[in-house]
């Protein structure tokens, strides 16, 4: 195949215990998946219908690279989240088969221009400028299911400059991983290479230039980096 311009690079993540990488197809995110975070955002806790949004695949930041402070915001926020990577996809995936789609697990930050998100909410506008900006998705190396299974309970936490900011157990998610995959597959045909950010617990707050962050899914994944 010849192309009229150079083919864009495939975004990818490192895989623990392997020199091969995980190619990223799409990034799906669920909002308001921990009750205390929904409450801190002034949103209702909705347990019947999940709320989804997306980020571009090339928003991933990997391998410990600095995260450039984004343009057009005065209020960059961290949201630490477990990240699920899919090896298989499909449409209308039954709940009981959903975990069979998972390649592995990691931890990431759903970086958010909170001021632009507040403005979008006030006007009923979409969230793309608040959520889908360049470098808005730092993600750790992935741990394959073969190594860690499917974690049902693990401590998810974030420190900034050595100070705790967020922590919760993933067991307290309103929609667990299998339910998220089943619900997403009603709306999109999921594909190998898709990533899912599974929502953030309470404690979201601002990041400043020069801040160092340490996000951890205990026993599974660690992400350390710096805001440039």
Binding site for Mn ion (CB under 5 A): 79, 110, 200
- Between residues 22 and 28, which has the closer beta carbon with respect to Mn ion? 28
Please report how close the Cβ of residue 118 comes to Mn ion at its closest, in angstroms.
15
- Between residues 132 and 193, which has the closer beta carbon with respect to Mn ion? 132
Please report how close the Cβ of residue 197 comes to Mn ion at its closest, in angstroms.
6
As given in the structure block, the two tokens for residue 159 are: 């420190």
* Residues 170 and 82: beta-carbon distance below 8 Å: yes
3-state secondary structure of 7: coil
- Between residues 143 and 200, which has the closer beta carbon with respect to Mn ion? 200
As given in the structure block, the two tokens for residue 206 are: 């601002």
Bridge partner list, 85: 104, 195
How far, CA to CA in Å, does 153 sit from each of 130, 167, 188? 30, 13, 27
Helix (H) or strand (E) holding 181: helix 177-187
- Between residues 77 and 178, which has the closer beta carbon with respect to Mn ion? 77
Give residue number: closest CB to Mn ion: 110
As given in the structure block, the two tokens for residue 174 are: 């309103």
- Between residues 140 and 200, which has the closer beta carbon with respect to Mn ion? 200
Please report how close the Cβ of residue 65 comes to Mn ion at its closest, in angstroms.
21
Please report how close the Cβ of residue 174 comes to Mn ion at its closest, in angstroms.
13
Helix (H) or strand (E) holding 119: helix 114-123
Please report how close the Cβ of residue 99 comes to Mn ion at its closest, in angstroms.
21
């Amino acid at each position: 195949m010849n192309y009229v311009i150079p083919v864009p690079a495939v975004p990818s993540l490192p895989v623990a215990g392997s020199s091969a990488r995980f190619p990223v197809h799409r990034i799906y995110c669920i909002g308001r998946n921990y009750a205390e975070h929904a409450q801190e955002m002034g949103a209702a806790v909705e347990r019947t219908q999940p709320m989804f949004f997306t980020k571009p695949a090339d928003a991933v930041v990997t391998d410990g690279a600095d995260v450039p402070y984004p343009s057009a915001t005065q209020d960059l926020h961290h949201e630490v989240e477990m990240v699920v990577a899919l090896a298989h996809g499909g449409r209308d995936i039954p709940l009981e088969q959903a975990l069979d789609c998972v390649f592995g697990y990691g931890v990431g930050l759903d970086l958010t221009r909170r001021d632009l998100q507040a403005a979008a909410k006030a006007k009923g506008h979409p969230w793309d400028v608040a959520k889908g900006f360049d470098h808005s998705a730092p993600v750790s190396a992935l741990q394959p299911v073969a190594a860690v299974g499917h974690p049902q309970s693990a401590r998810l936490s974030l420190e900034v400059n050595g100070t705790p900011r967020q922590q919760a157990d993933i067991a307290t998610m309103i929609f667990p991983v299998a339910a998220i995959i089943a619900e997403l597959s009603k709306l999109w045909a999921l594909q190998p290479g898709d990533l899912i950010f599974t929502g953030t617990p309470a404690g979201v707050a601002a990041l400043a230039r020069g801040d160092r962050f340490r996000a951890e899914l205990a026993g599974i994944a660690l992400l350390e980096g710096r805001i440039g």
